[in-house]
Amino acid sequence: MTKERLVLGGGCFWCVEGVFSNVKGVLTAISGYTGGQIANPSYESICTGTTGHAEIVDIIYDADIVTLSELLDIFFVIHDPTTLNRQGADSGTQYRSVIYYENEKSQIDIEEFIQSIQGNFRTKIVTEVSELGSVYQAEAYHQNYYKLNSSAGYCQAVIAPKLQKFMTKFPQNLG
């Protein structure tokens, strides 16, 4: 087993976690916060948009089962990387499209991937690519949110369609 890490922000972390927790080869998908100026932020502070943090999902995956490229492909299908600080009705810097890297090789691989798919979009991809700093796990009630609340309105209206899109487009990656 070759464990690797990928930290993604693509709007509400419930959506990103809901999809990536179903990807074959993903060992853990933990909702959290990173990219901001304060230590140990709370959900309430994140929602103010003043902390600089993004809602993210910290993904540990087995690179022998799923590749970085496959994970990035899924990420760019399940969210809109061309809208700045917004995903659907969720608006603010905490909802920005962002990928955090841990080393120069990952940074290069991510940037090359983005360049390779830019032609698939009508407008410019605005996904931020930034070095990973401290990651803070979100409160317990945010973890496995879709799995525990799948019948809730937000889950049905927002997360379920993203999950369906993933399952339809990437059946080979369904775990």
Q: Quote the Cα angle for 77-70-119, to 5°.
A: 50
Distance, CA of 82 to CA of 121 (rounded, Å): 8
User: Within a 10 A sphere around the Cβ of 25, how many other Cβ atoms?
Assistant: 18
**Catalytic one of 12, 15, 47, 155:** 12
Which residues touch 115 (CB under 8 Å, ≥6 apart)?
none
Q: 80, 87 in Cβ contact below 8 A?
A: yes
12 labelled catalytic: yes
Work out whether the CA dihedral 50, 51, 52, 57 comes out positive or negative.
negative
Closest CA to 13 of 120, 108, 141: 141
Residues with a known catalytic role: 12
